[in-house]
Chain A
C-alpha cells in the first residue's frame, strides 16, 4: 500500500514540470488558460501547485531575511564569521599567535633558568654555618630542638613553606630589643631564613632579609662577610 502511494507516476512529474513552467511564465496564453482551468477542477494538482508556490515564496522570504541581516552588520562581524566557519585565522592573527608562543617559550625558559640559578645558590650557601656549630646544647632545650629541626630543614630543602614561615616569626622575635630565648640566635635565624627563601625560589624575600642583616652585622664579622657575599651573588 505504502509502495503504491509512494510510486511517482509520469503524470506527477509532468504536472511538476507544468507548475514550474507556469511559475516561470513560460506557457503561452492558450496553454496557461487551460492550465488554470485544470487547477480549478483538479484538487490534487491545485494543492501541489499551491505547495510549490509556498516553497518559492517561503524561500524567497528567507533569502530576503539573510540580505537584511547582511546589511545590518559591520565588516568585522563578517570577517569573524568567515574565520569561524572556515577555521582559518587571518595572517596577522597567525603571526601574533606565533610571536606570543615565542615570548611564552622565552619567558618559561628564563623562569626555568632563574629558578635553577636561585635554588642552586641557596644550596651552595646552605652549609656555610653547620647546625652543629650553632646549636651546642647550652641554651633552652626546647628552643634548640626547634631551631635544629628548622635549620636542618633548610639544609635539606624539606618542608620549606612551613619552615620559612616559622623562621620569619622567630626572626622578628630575635630582633626585639628585649632579650629573649632567640636573641643569641638572631644571625643564624636570619641567615637560614634567607637561605630557605632562596631554596624555595622566593628571591625578593631573601634579598630583603639580607639587606636587613647587612645593616645589623658589619663587614668585619663572619656573618657580615657571608651576607654581603651572598647578596652580591644574587
Chain B
C-alpha cells in the first residue's frame, strides 16, 4: 500500500515536471525575445509563476466558460501568468526602466466546443466500442509526437493558439505554411491511430476466437 502511494506520488510529480520542462523551453525563449529579460530573471519569473498556477488551481481560480469548461489550456493560462509576472518585474526593476515592451497583439484564442467535438466523434462507426483503448491510444500517440507536429498539434488543438500565433511563435514564413504542416501532422496522427487501432482489434479478435467468447473488454 505504501509502495503504491509512492508510485502515485511519483507519477503526479513526473507529470508536473514534464509539463514544467516543456513550458520552460518556450517561456524562456518568449521572455528573452519579447521582454529582453536575463536568463536569471526568466528563471525567477518562471518559478514564481509556477507557484501562482499551482495556487490558482488549488483555489479553483481558473476561469471557465458558460459550459463549465476551462477557457484556456494550462499552457496558455501559464503563459498569461508568466507574461504578467514579467511585466510586473519590468515595471519594478530599474535595470529595465528604459525598456518598452512590444505590445501584445489581441488575443485570438481558439475555443473548441465539447458538444461539437463529441458530435464528430459520434460519427465513428466504432463509436461505442473500445472507448478506453481508444483514449489510451490517443494519449500514447500525442505524448510522443515528432517535435514539429508536437508544437503545431498541441499548439492548435491543445492550447488553442491561432495559426497566426503559431506562425509567429515557431518562425514559419506564413500562416499558410503552418496550415500545410499542421494538415500533414493531423494526417500522420490519423494514420498512426488507425494502424495501432487495427492491431488492438486484431488482438481482441484473436482472444475471442481462442476462448470462443464475444465479450467486449470495455465500453
Q: Which of B94-117 contact A (CB under 8 A)?
A: 110-114, 116-117
Summed over the interface, the residue pairs from A and B with CB atoms below 8 Å come to a total of 166
CB distance from A83 to the nearest CB of B (A): 7
CB distance from A169 to the nearest CB of B (A): 53
Is there an interface contact between B20 and A58, defined as CB atoms closer than 8 Å?
no
Tell me which of A73-81, A180-188, A205-213 binds B: A73-81
Q: A53-B121, A86-B47 are in contact. Are A62 and B180 (CB under 8 A)?
A: no
Is A24 part of the contact surface with B, judged by Cβ < 8 Å? Answer: yes
Is B139 part of the contact surface with A, judged by Cβ < 8 Å? Answer: yes
Partner of B113, one of A12, A24, A58: A24
Q: A49-B120, A55-B189 are in contact. Are A82 and B50 (CB under 8 A)?
A: yes
Is there an interface contact between B50 and A25, defined as CB atoms closer than 8 Å?
no
Is A114 part of the contact surface with B, judged by Cβ < 8 Å? Answer: no
CB distance from A44 to the nearest CB of B (A): 10
Is there an interface contact between B116 and A22, defined as CB atoms closer than 8 Å?
yes
Q: A55-B153, A63-B73, A82-B50 are in contact. Are A72 and B110 (CB under 8 A)?
A: no
Docked CA distance A110–B213 (Å) = 80
Partner of A81, one of B13, B58, B111: B13
Is there an interface contact between A81 and B17, defined as CB atoms closer than 8 Å?
yes
Is B3 part of the contact surface with A, judged by Cβ < 8 Å? Answer: no
Is there an interface contact between B112 and A56, defined as CB atoms closer than 8 Å?
yes
A residues in contact with B55, CB < 8 Å: 75
Q: A83-B47, A88-B44, A88-B47 are in contact. Are A66 and B16 (CB under 8 A)?
A: yes
A residues in contact with B6, CB < 8 Å: none
CB distance from B51 to the nearest CB of A (A): 6
Is there an interface contact between A86 and B43, defined as CB atoms closer than 8 Å?
yes
Number of interface residues of B (CB under 8 A): 63
CB distance from B163 to the nearest CB of A (A): 9
CB distance from A132 to the nearest CB of B (A): 70
Q: Which of B163-209 contact A (CB under 8 A)?
A: 176, 179-180, 182-184, 186-187, 189-190, 193
Is there an interface contact between A50 and B124, defined as CB atoms closer than 8 Å?
yes
Docked CA distance A6–B187 (Å) = 10
B residues in contact with A65, CB < 8 Å: 15
Is there an interface contact between A86 and B46, defined as CB atoms closer than 8 Å?
yes
Is there an interface contact between A22 and B50, defined as CB atoms closer than 8 Å?
no
B residues in contact with A20, CB < 8 Å: 110
CB distance from A102 to the nearest CB of B (A): 23
Is there an interface contact between B112 and A24, defined as CB atoms closer than 8 Å?
yes
Is there an interface contact between A16 and B184, defined as CB atoms closer than 8 Å?
no
Is there an interface contact between A23 and B46, defined as CB atoms closer than 8 Å?
no
Number of interface residues of A (CB under 8 A): 52
Is there an interface contact between A47 and B21, defined as CB atoms closer than 8 Å?
no
A residues in contact with B114, CB < 8 Å: 60
Q: Which of B138-169 contact A (CB under 8 A)?
A: 138-139, 141-143, 153-154, 157-158
Is there an interface contact between A23 and B117, defined as CB atoms closer than 8 Å?
yes
Docked CA distance A74–B124 (Å) = 41
Is there an interface contact between A85 and B183, defined as CB atoms closer than 8 Å?
no
CB distance from B117 to the nearest CB of A (A): 5
B residues in contact with A53, CB < 8 Å: 117-118, 120-121
Docked CA distance A138–B114 (Å) = 109
Is there an interface contact between B135 and A58, defined as CB atoms closer than 8 Å?
yes
Is A57 part of the contact surface with B, judged by Cβ < 8 Å? Answer: yes
Is there an interface contact between B120 and A23, defined as CB atoms closer than 8 Å?
yes
Is B53 part of the contact surface with A, judged by Cβ < 8 Å? Answer: yes
List the interface of chain A (C-beta within 8 A of B): 6, 8, 12-13, 16-17, 19-20, 22-25, 39-40, 46-63, 65-67, 69-73, 75, 77-79, 81-88
List the interface of chain B (C-beta within 8 A of A): 9, 11-13, 15-17, 19-21, 24, 40, 42-44, 46-47, 50-51, 53-55, 57-58, 62, 69-70, 73-74, 110-114, 116-118, 120-121, 123-124, 134-135, 138-139, 141-143, 153-154, 157-158, 176, 179-180, 182-184, 186-187, 189-190, 193
